[in-house]
Every structure is written in structure tokens, then in C-alpha cells.
Amino acid sequence: EDFFKMNTQYTKWQTQRRCVPDTEELNIMLLIKACSHLNLTYQIYYLAEDAERSGKRFILRVLKGCRISSELRQFIKEHKNTKLERY
């Protein structure tokens, strides 16, 4: 029984990665970012891939003046369930 239990050892600099959207409804995952420049981060990548697998829509909401990196633009084009909204 103890064989299947895994104790992951972390140093004080390491933390376990966990990504949750700001809001999750039946078919929509919403992530809100308030920044001046946005790159393709692990959080965005993971949530978009998770939405794609589960058939949900992933909405990334950013400020009107936010600059989006070319990698993130390409990523959004390749994922049909991912949408960028500006507010």
C-alpha cells in the first residue's frame, strides 16, 4: 500500500504547479490578466490545453492596451476553443 503513495520532496524554492481559471462555468473557463505585456505562460498553456481536451471554451481576458507576444498569438490561432478578449 505504501508503495503507491508518493511523497514529493520540495526545496524552499520549489513549489508544486497548480493552475485554476479565475472563473469556471459549465462550458467556459475564464482567465483574467491585468498587465501591459503578456507572453505564453505555463498557466495559459495548461488551461488552454485542458479546455481543448474537455471540450470547453477558454477565454483569456486582458486589458485593452496589453501587448500580446507573437508566440501567444500563434498559440491562440492554433487552438479553436481559445479566445482573446479585451476589456
pTM for the full model?
0.78
Q: Which residues contact 48 (CB under 8 A, 6 or more apart)?
A: 58, 60, 75, 79, 81, 82
Position 38 pLDDT exceeds 90: yes
Cβ–Cβ under 8 Å, residues 73 and 40? no
Mean pLDDT, rounded, for 43-51: 95
Answer left, alpha or beta for residue 55, where phi above 0 means left and psi between -120 and 50 means alpha: left
Contact, 38 vs 62, CB < 8 A?
Answer: yes
pLDDT of residue 6: 55
